[in-house]
């Protein structure tokens, strides 16, 4: 049924498959899209962000974690704000970053659990976990809101659905 959440879950994802997933996601995005990334240190949040950003670019971009700068802006089409909240200790610090202020940009936020009450009502939420086999990751993708459920529906045609 259209708009019904299918929740995409894929286990034992290697880095090549994670990059493909990021590329598929990039082709479904729209200006104003918000991608929230959740997962422990080293689970692949920046790898996935890199694949999404490169999927929106006409040339290869070397994407690094914005852990120390907090925000990196990429001149893709549309512009991408890649944000890392790892170093912030309080949600009030996030207010000063003025995130989500450009309605024409795409936002990719690592450590999105730090957003607390600033979490948008609608977003594409991506959860990355260590697989029992440390060489792989497990990934769950869930759309919150009608536009994101449509992305989820489109992605479910290319990625395993649970």
User: Alpha carbon of 139 to those of 9, 21, 118: distances in Å?
Assistant: 6, 10, 24
Backbone φ, ψ for residue 117 (5° rounding): -70, -10
pLDDT tens, residue by residue, 44-92:
999 999 999 999 998 899 898 887 788 899 999 999 999 999 878 777 7
Helix intervals (H) in 42-145? 45-55, 91-95
pLDDT tens, residue by residue, 11-21:
898 999 999 99
Average pLDDT, the chain: 89
Confidence grade of residue 39 (pLDDT, cut at 50, 70, 90):
very high
Domain boundaries defined on the chain:
8-156
CATH of 8-156, one of 1.10.1660.10, 3.30.470.10, 3.40.50.1980, 3.40.50.300: 3.40.50.300
pLDDT at site 69: 80
pLDDT at site 3: 44
């Amino acid at each position: 049924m259209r708009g019904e959440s299918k929740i995409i879950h894929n286990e034992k994802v290697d880095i090549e498959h994670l990059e493909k997933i990021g590329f598929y996601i990039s082709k479904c995005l729209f200006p104003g899209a918000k991608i929230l990334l959740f997962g422990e240190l080293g689970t692949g949040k920046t790898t996935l962000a890199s694949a999404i950003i490169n999927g929106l670019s006409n040339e290869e971009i070397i994407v690094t974690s914005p852990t120390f700068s907090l925000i990196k802006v990429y001149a893709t089409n549309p512009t991408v704000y890649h944000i890392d909240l790892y170093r912030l200790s309080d949600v009030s610090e996030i207010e000063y970053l003025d995130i989500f202020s450009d309605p024409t940009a795409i936002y990719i936020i690592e450590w999105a659990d730090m957003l607390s009450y600033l979490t948008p009502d609608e977003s594409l939420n991506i959860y990355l976990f260590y697989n029992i086999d440390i060489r792989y990751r497990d990934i769950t993708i869930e759309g919150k809101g009608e536009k994101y459920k449509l992305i989820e529906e489109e992605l479910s045609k290319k990625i395993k659905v649970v």
